[in-house]
Amino acid sequence: MLSDLFLIRHGQPVSNPAIPYQLPPGPDLSERGRAEARQVAIFLADKGVELLLVSPFARTTQTAEVLVDALGLPVTFTTLAQEHAPNESFEQVRARARELLAGLNDSPYQRVGIVTHGSPIRALLLELSHDQIDLSKHVYHGGNPAPTCGVWQVTFNHQRTCRFELVFKPSWQP
């Protein structure tokens, strides 16, 4: 039974207007993004994460590669965690979040990390909180609910209620 869910936003991507941000594969990670991912790996090292679910975009895949190299975690790629597409409504993103969560409820894993994007993180938090979470104090670049490589931890108790906390924000040193 799932006890902890770590919602991990990808690291900072390369800024290149010629590469569509919301269409796969999207931009690669920047050097700063790789440094952020290494910080997340250190943070997650003692958290007991058993599996990473990863959006198939370049920036999420490359963030996950850093985590896998450091932590040796198994990875499953899923379009359910992919970026909010230009022609997709937020309700469609939430439907994907519901489907992703339903799959986790049927899994044997207790602690799972999801390497994803800002909009799916928002959808997952709203779904898990039944729209009760206040994200007004968590607005980062682009309106995202986490900074790049920010980590939300959702802890489930025995009554299947959740505790939500933004537990990690990277500090980047050049």
The answer to whether position 143 is within a domain reads yes
Quick one: residue 161, left, alpha or beta (phi over 0 = left, psi -120 to 50 = alpha)?
A: beta
* Distant-in-sequence, close-in-space partners of 143: CB < 8 Å, separation ≥ 6: 118
Q: Looking up tokens 């990390």, which residue turns up?
A: 113
- The predicted model gives 81-91 an average pLDDT of 97
Over pLDDT 90: what percentage of the chain?
Answer: 93
The token pair at 158 is 């025995």
Question: Residue 161 pLDDT > 60, yes or no?
Answer: yes
Q: Residue 153: which domain range?
A: 4-13+24-168
The answer to whether position 122 is within a domain reads yes
106 — pLDDT class (breaks 50, 70, 90): confident
Question: Residue 129 pLDDT > 90, yes or no?
Answer: yes
Q: Prior bond to 13 cis, omega within 30?
A: no
Question: Residue 152 pLDDT > 90, yes or no?
Answer: yes
Number of domains in the chain: 1
The b-or-e profile of 121-152 (16+ CB within 10 A means b, else e) is bbbbbbbbeeeebebeebeeeeebbbbbbbbb
The answer to whether position 18 is within a domain reads no
The answer to whether position 83 is within a domain reads yes
- Its pTM stands at 0.96
By the 8 A CB rule, do 60 and 81 touch?
Answer: yes
Question: Residue 172 pLDDT > 70, yes or no?
Answer: no
Question: Residue 174 pLDDT > 60, yes or no?
Answer: no
Q: Which amino acid is at 82?
A: Q
The answer to whether position 31 is within a domain reads yes
Instruction: Return the CATH number at 114.
Output: 3.40.50.1240
Beta bridge partners of 9: 116
7 against 158, higher pLDDT: 7
The answer to whether position 19 is within a domain reads no
Number of H helices and E strands in the chain, helices first, is 4, 6
The answer to whether position 142 is within a domain reads yes
